Amino acid sequence: MTEALFALAQGDALSLLLVLTLLGMSVLSWTVIVYKTWLLHQVSVDVPRGRSAFWHAPDVAQGLRVLQSVDRCAMLLPLVQALKLDPVNTLAAQSDVRTQRTRVLRDALHLVVQRLQRGQVVLATVGATAPFVGLLGTVWGIYHALTGIAQAQQLTIEQIAGPVGESLIMTAAGLAVALPAVLAYNAMGRVVQRLEQELEGFAHDLRAL
């Protein structure tokens, strides 16, 4: 496969661009997969442990200090820190305390959830577009192969099988780039959804505190 891609890279500018595009997509998606695997593992361990440690603390101040040593990825800390009310003499402080806390907790929760979802769009984009990039490379390669065959004076099976086979490799390369991204997107999406529910429950309990 490497030799075939190398041969395709020796083609025209479009062929080289498509090969580099698939390579870039693969590097980007695997970078996101490795980083998010580490992040979601950390958060999956820290969130249940941090929630338990916080609610066993005697007061909010002590619970905040406990979270600073337990919540390594800072998923619960922003929610607890959001309990601080808005400064007096501001529009935000005109509403009652319960409304203020609902607003600041909602905003803090949105920021935390955005951190959890970061990279999902990249995986979805790679999974959706990589097969079509590979297919375009296949079509373009077969076109050039058929053009070369039409110009050849003597035609053999090797002249057909070689260029066409190398072109079809682009389809396989596109699928090879897309499949890990799609599988990671689906698997990580379920973990992110579960963590979002846990964080929403924690924010709800903080609001009632």
User: One-letter amino acid identity for 96?
Assistant: D
Whole-prediction pTM value? 0.80
Three-state SS annotation for 13-70: HHHHHHHHHHHHHHHHHHHHHHHHHHHHHHHHHHHHHHHHHHHCCCCHHHHHHHHHHH
The three-state secondary structure class of 74 is coil
State phi, psi for 29 to the nearest 5 degrees. Answer: -65, -40
Task: State which residues of the chain have pLDDT below 50.
Answer: 1-5
Return d(Cα 176, Cα 174) in angstroms, integer. 5
CA distances from 188 to 24, 63, 117, 185 (A): 21, 29, 9, 5
pLDDT at 98: 74
**H and E: helices and strands count for the chain:** 7, 0
CB 67 within 8 A of CB 76: yes
pLDDT, tens digit, 9 for 90 and up, residues 109-162: 999 999 999 999 999 999 999 999 999 888 887 877 777 777 766 666 666 666
User: Residue ranges per domain, the chain?
Assistant: 2-208
